[in-house]
């Protein structure tokens, strides 16, 4: 496999409701920032790929408008995944492995504020058996949290502590949406939204965009910050039928982690795409991450959860952490589907 | 070193307006099982699955690949979802081929589909966005002015579109999977069919279909063991440009020309008209045949229509185009691009049945989408490059 | 159950609501339209004028900023006569949609042509906007009811063939 590095990362500040701007208005400065920090002239970027969802925008072919932000004339080699931007990064990584290009711009965007997220996510379920039940995304996560508590693997207190830790460290993340110091007793005194989940266990609804430039060959090392190498990347998926799997475990994360070589070296930290507090527990176990591993130096998805790019943001934040010299090797994770159905693992390392 | 890769299995469903006899999963499995059988493979032989389809609102399910995972044997495997508008079937096949070419996987199953009968495609395409004027009547309303622009530029005779439609509809009679079949079709029937979006007539227009297409793509090691002739993927190309910008050539977009130039260069082809034996190209409205013939460098600018007129693109012509009946005869939107890629593969495998071009050794598969702005293409051949 | 028909399909109605944002550029343009003006925007990189403005020049991938008024008159660069109904369009059939290159703009936009026989519509024809009465103007593109021929001489195809 070719060495592929994350040359740069850029993102918006995440907010509850970006009503002022269009998607294109939001994308132009972010990708401009990512490209200029990469040190690779735009004319030399070999491939573009982005992740988004028509249902987030409430419009068929919504992704087409994003091409308007790319300055795609002369025409560009470009593709789109109806997945989180982390998978757009995967497609670009594969393209680079083919030897066809030496650099790529990937991005993801979502404006969950346009629709009603809990209802929209219901449309992601099996349309014959699960969807018609009317179950929403928080209720699904609550089923998983309950199963985890019943299995003795977590508690409402531990979940609150996870939320507190993520939002405390997010105070240092200028792009985070929900940050601050919270007290466990006060949080536990709050009512549940869907038992056992309280507000603090759930992610915020976020509007935002993030972008990464990948580099290979002699494009590596031209950027503002030190290149961070993708040492392994893999993604796997579990059953969609919630009754068909043990919700307290994530076999697809475990398998993707093994295939990506998570433990081929020391894991100093992990950026886990765990939108709900209890999911951090499941992911830690699946990846075999001990207490010594720092989880979510950025504050994770509990601090900002831009749909369709929260996974790519984890990869970008992990790369930024390494490029800043705060760690030498770490793991980034992205998820998709109800109750962590699909998972991607990316192992990152500095020079 | 990139791996050589080949199509070793092809499968498709019968295409029709409403496949109410099967679920979405059933539709995909029908195509996938045919492709697996054709490739001599079991589900367990497949390393990864790539799904392509057009807008999720056509079926009313957001990211439906997630619920289709089990039906396609994906649990514990990588599954990937592509969406690049009408070109998606082609792009999906290219993404699948690159999973093999890169050396990441040895055998990949790729499936593209549309099952519009489960939602309401008209609704999905016509959601009224506030502040914007809604006067463009669907794809026909969008493309009709571009076709008129071509007619004006090329000074082509007015019956070129009728001739293309007649040819494709006659070819469809030889394709057991085709959706639209008019057994006694003739020139007058096409010419006298109602104008929908003048200058586009009803019989010059594609249908809306339910249907799926699947391919098994393998590396050299696995292709060597395939039961049938592999279709070696010699070259692929993709290009995109924005829908609208000042000075855009919407009739013969530069993204199309650039993609074709890259494709021929990668396939080491200097004279496509001589070196390609047949083409399956994305022609949703009949006039796009001459338009793409020019854009793909098979004909000089302004003279693509002469190929149709002289019978060059007929099944027995020197460059047969859309031997299967094309998009005009079957249009499961998300799968339409992959069907072009699949039919090209079947031609060089000698597996195209009644619409086989005798001795076809090298073929073009082509798809486009959006406002003539997304292009994907491949060249497949009996031998690797 | 054995004497009943098997269940072959179910219908699950769904409803989702969305809030759309026009963005600053379209907002400025809509406000101008409510005053009877067509205001486009110039690309700072290639100097082309976009109407209606989307906020970006897609060719260059840069934000457009400076406003410029364009005429409510222009040239038909190509067109279609629509004879089939569409779910979202409330127009009597047939009707003519045209690409109209407004004087002062560098990109055509979709407009309706009326007050003209369908077989008299042609590429190169000069047209002008027919506005609703001023009292009915609002923040939307429908302030212009349609375009009609001006009777001026046609513009030769060569002059706009790059702007179809
Ligand atoms: Zn410009």
**Stretch A185-196: mean pLDDT:** 98
Indicate which CATH number applies to the domain containing B87: 3.40.47.10
Instruction: Give C14's contacts in chain A (Cβ within 8 Å).
Output: 122-123, 131
Q: Give me the domain span that covers residue B99.
A: 5-119+208-223
Q: How confident is the model at residue B120 (pLDDT cuts 50, 70, 90)?
A: confident
Residue percentage of chain B with pLDDT more than 90: 92
Q: How confident is the model at residue C87 (pLDDT cuts 50, 70, 90)?
A: confident
Kindly indicate whether the ipTM for this predicted assembly is greater than 0.90, answering yes or no: yes
The residue among B237, B258, B242 whose CA lies nearest residue B341 is B237
User: Are C88 and B196 inside 8 Å of each other by CB?
Assistant: no
Residue percentage of chain A with pLDDT more than 90: 97
pLDDT of residue B135: 73
Q: Chain A contact for C80, CB < 8 A? A: no
pLDDT of residue C12: 87
Partners of B107 in beta bridges = B218
The answer to whether position A93 is within a domain reads yes
Please tell me the least confidently modeled range out of A213-227, B263-277, C20-34.
C20-34
Does residue C125 register a pLDDT over 90?
yes
Chain B contact residues (CB < 8 Å to C): 20-21, 60, 122-123, 126-138, 140-141, 144-146, 148-149, 152-153, 194-200, 242-251
Between B123 and A267, whose confidence is greater? A267
Instruction: Give C62's contacts in chain A (Cβ within 8 Å).
Output: 28, 71
User: Are C55 and A25 inside 8 Å of each other by CB?
Assistant: yes
User: Are A131 and C12 inside 8 Å of each other by CB?
Assistant: yes
Between A61 and A86, whose confidence is greater? A86
Please tell me the least confidently modeled range out of A126-130, A199-203, B222-226, C12-16.
C12-16
Q: Chain B contact for C9, CB < 8 A? A: yes
In the 8-state DSSP scheme, what is residue B349?
Answer: H
Instruction: Give C30's contacts in chain B (Cβ within 8 Å).
Output: 131
pLDDT of residue C2: 60
Partners of A346 in beta bridges = A233, A332
**Stretch A101-117: mean pLDDT:** 96
Indicate the burial class of B177 (C-beta count within 10 angstroms; 0-12, 13-18, 19 or more).
Answer: buried
Q: What confidence tens digit (pLDDT) does each residue in A233-261 have?
A: 999 999 999 998 999 999 999 999 999 99
Instruction: Give A82's contacts in chain B (Cβ within 8 Å).
Output: 56, 63, 81-83
User: Are A123 and B60 inside 8 Å of each other by CB?
Assistant: yes
User: Domains of chain C, with CATH numbers?
Assistant: 21-70 (no CATH), 72-164 (2.40.50)
Q: What confidence tens digit (pLDDT) does each residue in B1-29 have?
A: 789 999 999 999 999 999 999 999 999 99
pLDDT of residue B138: 82
Please tell me the least confidently modeled range out of A147-161, B219-233, C8-22.
C8-22
Q: What is the Å distance from ligand 1's center to A28 Cα?
A: 13
Q: How confident is the model at residue A182 (pLDDT cuts 50, 70, 90)?
A: very high
The span from the CA of A74 to the CA of B254, in Å, is 8
Measure CB to CB from residue B197 to each of C26, C59, C82 and give the nearest one.
Answer: C82
The answer to whether position B264 is within a domain reads no
**Stretch B131-148: mean pLDDT:** 85
The answer to whether position A44 is within a domain reads yes
Does residue B128 register a pLDDT over 80?
no
Indicate which CATH number applies to the domain containing A112: 3.40.47.10
Residue carrying structure tokens 């000089």? B300
How many independent structural domains does chain B possess? 1
In this complex, how many residue pairs, one in chain A and one in chain C, have their CB atoms less than 8 Å apart? 78
Does residue B326 register a pLDDT over 90?
yes
Q: What is the Å distance from ligand 1's center to C103 Cα?
A: 18
Q: What is the Å distance from ligand 1's center to C60 Cα?
A: 4
Q: How confident is the model at residue B170 (pLDDT cuts 50, 70, 90)?
A: very high
Please tell me the least confidently modeled range out of A173-182, B126-135, C53-62.
B126-135
Does residue A149 register a pLDDT over 60?
yes
The answer to whether position B26 is within a domain reads yes
pLDDT of residue A212: 98
The answer to whether position A156 is within a domain reads no
The answer to whether position A345 is within a domain reads no
The answer to whether position A270 is within a domain reads no
The mean pLDDT value of chain B amounts to 96
Which pTM value belongs to this model? Answer: 0.97
The span from the CA of A118 to the CA of A137, in Å, is 5
How many independent structural domains does chain A possess? 1
Q: Give me the domain span that covers residue A209.
A: 4-116+205-219
pLDDT of residue C4: 80
**Stretch A17-24: mean pLDDT:** 91
The answer to whether position B317 is within a domain reads no
Q: φ and ψ at B344, to 5 degrees?
A: -60, -45
pLDDT of residue B130: 77
Q: What is the Å distance from ligand 1's center to C31 Cα?
A: 24
The answer to whether position B41 is within a domain reads yes
The answer to whether position B47 is within a domain reads yes
């Amino acid at each position: 496999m070719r060495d592929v590095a994350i040359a740069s990362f850029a993102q918006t500040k995440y907010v509850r409701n970006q009503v002022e701007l269009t998607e294109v208005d939001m994308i132009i400065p972010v990708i401009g920032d990512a490209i200029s920090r990469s040190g690779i002239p735009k004319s030399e970027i070999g491939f573009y790929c982005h992740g988004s969802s028509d249902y987030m925008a409430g419009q068929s072919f919504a992704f087409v408008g994003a091409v308007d932000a790319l300055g795609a004339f002369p025409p560009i080699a470009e593709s789109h995944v109806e997945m989180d931007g982390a998978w757009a990064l995967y497609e670009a990584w594969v393209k680079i492995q083919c030897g066809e290009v030496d650099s790529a711009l990937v991005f993801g965007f979502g404006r969950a504020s346009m629709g009603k997220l809990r209802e929209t996510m219901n449309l992601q379920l099996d349309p014959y058996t699960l969807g018609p039940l009317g179950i929403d995304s928080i209720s699904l996560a609550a089923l998983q949290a309950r199963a985890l508590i019943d299995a003795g693997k977590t508690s409402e207190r531990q979940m609150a502590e996870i939320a507190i830790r993520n939002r405390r460290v997010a105070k240092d993340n200028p792009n985070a949406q929900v940050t601050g110091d919270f007290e466990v007793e006060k949080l536990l005194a709050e009512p549940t939204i869907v038992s056992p989940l309280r507000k603090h266990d759930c992610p915020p609804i976020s509007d935002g965009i993030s972008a990464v430039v990948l580099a290979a060959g002699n494009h590596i090392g031209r950027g503002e910050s030190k290149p961070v190498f993708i040492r392994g990347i893999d993604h796997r998926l579990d059953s969609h039928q919630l009754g068909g799997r043990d919700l307290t475990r994530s076999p697809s994360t475990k398998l993707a982690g093994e295939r990506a070589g998570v433990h081929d070296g020391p894991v100093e930290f992990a950026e886990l795409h765990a939108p709900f507090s209890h999911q951090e527990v499941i992911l830690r176990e699946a990846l075999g991450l001990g207490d010594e591993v720092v989880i979510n130096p950025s504050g994770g998805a509990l601090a900002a959860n831009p749909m369709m790019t929260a996974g790519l943001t984890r990869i970008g934040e992990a790369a930024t952490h390494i490029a800043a010299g705060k760690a030498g090797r770490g793991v980034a994770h992205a998820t998709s589907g109800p109750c962590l159905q699909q998972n991607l693992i990316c192992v990152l390392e500095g020079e | 070193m990139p791996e050589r890769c080949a199509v070793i299995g092809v499968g498709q469903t019968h295409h029709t307006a409403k496949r109410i006899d099967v679920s979405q999963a059933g539709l995909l499995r029908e195509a996938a099982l045919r492709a697996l059988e054709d490739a001599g493979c079991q589900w367990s032989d497949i390393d990864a699955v790539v799904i392509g389809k057009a807008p999720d609102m056509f079926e009313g399910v957001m990211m439906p690949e997630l619920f289709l995972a089990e039906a396609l044997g994906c649990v514990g495997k990588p599954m990937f979802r592509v969406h690049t508008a009408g070109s998606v079937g082609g792009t999906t096949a290219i993404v699948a081929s690159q999973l093999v070419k890169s050396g990441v996987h040895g055998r990949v199953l790729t499936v593209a589909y549309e099952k519009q009968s489960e939602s309401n495609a008209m609704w999905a395409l016509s959601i009224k966005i506030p502040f914007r004027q809604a006067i463009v009547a669907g794809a026909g309303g969008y493309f009709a002015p571009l076709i008129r622009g071509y007619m004006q530029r090329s000074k082509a005779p007015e019956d070129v579109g009728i001739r293309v439609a007649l040819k494709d509809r006659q070819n469809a009679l030889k394709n057991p999977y085709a959706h639209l079949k008019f057994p006694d079709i003739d020139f007058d029937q096409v010419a006298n069919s109602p104008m929908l979006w003048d200058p586009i007539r009803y019989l010059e227009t594609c249908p809306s279909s339910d249907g799926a297409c699947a391919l098994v793509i393998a590396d050299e090691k696995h292709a060597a063991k395939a039961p049938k002739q592999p279709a070696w993927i010699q070259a692929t190309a993709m290009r995109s440009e924005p829908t609208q910008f000042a000075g855009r050539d919407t009739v013969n977009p530069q993204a199309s020309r650039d993609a074709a130039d890259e494709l021929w260069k990668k396939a080491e082809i200097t004279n496509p008209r001589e070196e390609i034996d047949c083409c399956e190209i994305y022609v949703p409205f009949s006039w796009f045949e001459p338009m793409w013939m020019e854009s793909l460098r098979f004909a000089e600018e302004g003279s693509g229509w002469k190929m149709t007129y002289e019978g060059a693109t007929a099944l027995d012509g020197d460059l047969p185009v859309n031997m299967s009946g094309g998009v005009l005869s079957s249009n499961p939107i998300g799968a339409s691009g992959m069907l072009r890629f699949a039919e090209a593969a079947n031609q060089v495998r000698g597996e195209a049945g009644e619409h086989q071009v005798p001795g076809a050794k090298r073929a073009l598969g082509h798809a486009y989408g959006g406002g003539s702005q997304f292009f994907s293409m491949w060249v497949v051949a009996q031998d690797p490059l | 159950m054995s004497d009943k028909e098997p269940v072959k399909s179910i219908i699950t109605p769904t409803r989702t609501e969305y809030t759309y944002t026009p963005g600053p550029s379209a907002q400025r343009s809509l406000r101008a339209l409510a005053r009877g003006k067509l205001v486009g925007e110039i690309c700072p990189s290639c100097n082309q004028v976009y109407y209606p403005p989307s906020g970006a020049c897609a060719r260059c991938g840069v934000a457009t900023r400076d406003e410029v008024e364009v005429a409510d008159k222009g040239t038909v660069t190509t067109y279609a006569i629509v004879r089939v109904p569409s779910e979202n369009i409330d127009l009597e059939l047939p009707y003519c949609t045209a690409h109209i290159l407004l004087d002062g703009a560098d990109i055509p936009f979709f407009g309706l042509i009326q007050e003209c026989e369908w077989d008299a519509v042609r590429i190169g024809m000069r047209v002008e906007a027919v506005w609703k009465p001023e009292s009915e103007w609002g923040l939307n593109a429908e302030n212009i009811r349609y375009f009609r021929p001006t009777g001026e001489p046609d513009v030769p195809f060569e002059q706009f063939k790059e702007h179809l």
